[in-house]
């Protein structure tokens, strides 16, 4: 073997440990499987469009920490929207009661991270919302609450005045125009964020909304003002008991994409 061939061989051998590490890391990369319940909870309230789902995570090869979770919704028309997780709950127990009713105990978690363990399937109820909507809504809501604060400083929270205020009209108009849900088919894709490399499987699904579903959401628009009326009355009287508002929700069947 010639001198330069020997040098080339030594150079190649020097890279061998690095190549082995790359191959090992690839085959030991975490693989996350998403498992969801057969129906989702689709809503539209004074909090805007909402999507809730009971889901589980199974991980193989190595443990991993999820730092973010979002869903891309794509309507058959091509319109798309990204919802981010806003809250998660973990069910610990359920007590069966009479007439088929049940009472469950859940623990609410701050949405910071979920650690996935190979030995445990993590089960969570996850609440997703449109962050872009929330930011704008918070901005408009701050103006309204500032007005309430001034009234409280003067010990004169005028509920009728607040219901007719420009601040509420602007906020209510924005919420009413934020109804994202439409009749037709939706494709959804769950996306996971982590500081570690991973593969994801079973993350694409479909569901459909009917014209009756959309009509139900349209009726919710009439309840937006009533939800803020509750807030105003409570600001005027701390002893006021909030009136129950019955929002329309829909529970479409979620199917795995083919």
Task: Express as a percent the part of the chain with pLDDT over 70.
Answer: 80
For the chain, the first-to-last Cα distance in angstroms comes to 56
Task: Give residue-wise pLDDT tens across range 119-160.
Answer: 777 788 899 999 999 999 999 999 999 999 989 888 889 999
0.75 cut: is pTM over it? Answer: yes
Q: Which residues, at least 6 apart from 146, have a Cβ–Cβ distance to it below 8 Å?
A: none
The confidence score (pLDDT) of residue 91 equals 54
Radius of gyration of the chain (CA): 25
Cβ atoms of 207 and 190 within 8 Å: the answer is no
The confidence score (pLDDT) of residue 96 equals 44
Task: Give residue-wise pLDDT tens across range 190-231.
Answer: 999 888 888 888 899 999 999 999 999 999 999 999 999 999
């Amino acid at each position: 073997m010639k001198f330069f061939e020997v040098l080339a061989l030594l150079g190649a051998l020097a890279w061998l440990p690095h190549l082995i590490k790359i191959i090992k890391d690839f085959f030991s990369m975490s693989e996350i499987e998403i498992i969801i319940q057969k129906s989702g909870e689709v809503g539209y309230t004074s909090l805007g469009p909402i999507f809730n789902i009971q889901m589980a995570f199974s991980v193989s090869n190595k443990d991993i920490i999820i730092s973010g979770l979002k869903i891309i919704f794509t309507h058959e028309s091509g319109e798309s929207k990204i919802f981010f997780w806003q809250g998660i709950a973990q069910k610990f127990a359920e007590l069966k009661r009479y007439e088929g009713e049940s009472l469950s105990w859940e623990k609410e978690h701050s949405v910071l991270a979920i650690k996935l363990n190979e030995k445990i399937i993590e089960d969570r109820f996850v609440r997703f919302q449109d962050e872009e909507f929330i930011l704008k809504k918070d901005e408009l809501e701050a103006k309204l609450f500032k007005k309430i604060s001034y009234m409280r400083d003067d010990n004169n929270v005028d509920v009728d005045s607040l219901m007719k205020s420009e601040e509420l009209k602007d906020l209510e108009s924005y919420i009413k125009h934020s109804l994202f849900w439409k009749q037709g088919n939706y494709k959804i894709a769950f996306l996971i964020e982590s500081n570690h490399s991973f593969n994801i499987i079973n993350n694409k699904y479909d569901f459909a909304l009917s014209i009756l579903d959309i009509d139900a959401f349209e009726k919710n628009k009439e309840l937006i003002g009533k939800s803020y009326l509750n807030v105003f009355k409570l600001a005027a009287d701390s002893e006021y008991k909030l009136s129950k508002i019955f929002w329309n929700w829909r529970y479409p069947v979620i199917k795995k994409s083919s």
